[in-house]
Amino acid sequence: MPRIFIISILITFACVNLISCKGKGTVTSKTLSTEDKTALENRIKEIIKGRPGKFGIAVIYNDTDTLTVNDTSDYPLMSMFKLHEALAVCHTLDRLNISLDTTLNINRKELDMDTWSPMLRDSLSESFSISVEKLLDYTLVHSDNNTSNILFDRIVTPHETDIYIRSISPEGDFNISYTEADMKKDIPKSYANRTSPLSYACLVNKIFTDSIVSADKQDFIKEAMARCATGMERIAAGLPDSGISFAHRTGTGYTTPDGKITAINDGGYVRLPDGTGYSIAIFVKDFEGNQEIAERTISLISKTVYDNLSSSR
C-alpha cells in the first residue's frame, strides 16, 4: 500500500473541553487527607534537596488527588514523547480506518546506523516489511529511535502530534516540535521538546482511566507500556516485586560539553491491589553527576510515594 503520510487528508482534531486531567474510568472514592499530601510533599522535597539537578515530580492518585513539586514546563521530554507519538499514530489510524497490522516497506538506507535501534539487530535485510504495530512496539517497549523516526516520517508529524495531544489534554503544558533525528543533529533542540511533570502525569492518567483512541489500540499502548524494558532502575526500582502492576515510558538525554545530563526521566501508572492507582512522572533536568545517582534518587522518590499512598488506603 502507499506510504500513509502521502494520503492528503487534513486531520481535524476535535478539541475536548476538559478542565482537569480526570478520566472516565471506574475508581473508588478514596482520597488523601491534607496531612498525608503535605507529609508526602515534604518527604519528596527533603529527598531532592541539594541534588545537582532540577527535579520535577507529579502524582495523581485515584484520579482525584494531585501533588506536584517543581512543576514547571521546561523539562526536556527526550524519548518520553514517544508516548504522545504512539497516541497520535493510533488516532490517525483510527480516522483512516487502518489497523495496526498494516505494513510499511523499509529500506535500511533510510535508517540511522548510529543510534539506539533494536530493530536494526532484528531486521538484517536491505529491505523489509514491518507492521505499524511492530514499529510501535519497538518504540514504546525498547525506545527505538529509528522506529520513532519512521512513524513521524510516514504517519504523523511532530507538529500534528502536538496538536492532537492538546485536543485530548488541553490543560497540558508541553511542546513537541522535533524528531529523534532532529535532536541528534542539533542537541539544543532537545530542550524545545518539553513538558511539565503534571502534563505528563495527566496524559498517563487519561490512558489508564479514560477512553482516548479505539479500545484495541489503547489496550495495545497500555500493554506495551507494561513491557517497557528501559529505565528499570528508576520508578520501578522503588516498587514492590509483587502485588502491583506498573506501566511506563522513559527518556534519557544527551551529556552536554560541561558534563550535564540534559534529562533522566520516567513516568507511568501504578495499579494497587485494591484497584486504585496513581500516575507518577519524575523528570530530572541538567543533572551534574553520575546517571546512577539520579536514578537512585528517582527510585527513592518512587518508594516514598508508594509507601505513603499504600499506608493511606
User: 3-class SS at 52?
Assistant: coil
Q: Which of 264, 260, 293, 294 is nearest to 281 (CA)?
A: 264
Q: Which of 49, 31, 75 is nearest to 192 (CA)?
A: 75
**CA distance linking residue 272 with residue 239, whole number of Å:** 11
**CA distance linking residue 205 with residue 214, whole number of Å:** 17
Task: Give residues with Cβ within 8 angstroms of 205, minimum separation 6.
Answer: 21, 22, 23, 60, 63, 269, 279
First to last CA, the chain: 52
123 part of the active site: no
C-alpha cell at 222: 497500555
Give the number of C-alpha atoms closer than 13 A to the C-alpha of residue 157, restricted to the C-beta side. 8
User: 3-class SS at 15?
Assistant: coil
Furthest C-alpha separation in the chain: 61
Q: What angle do CA 183, 252, 147 make, to 5 degrees?
A: 60
**CA distance linking residue 267 with residue 234, whole number of Å:** 9
Q: Which listed residue (79, 143, 190, 199) is catalytic?
A: 79
**CA distance linking residue 161 with residue 88, whole number of Å:** 5
> Which residues are marked as active site?
79
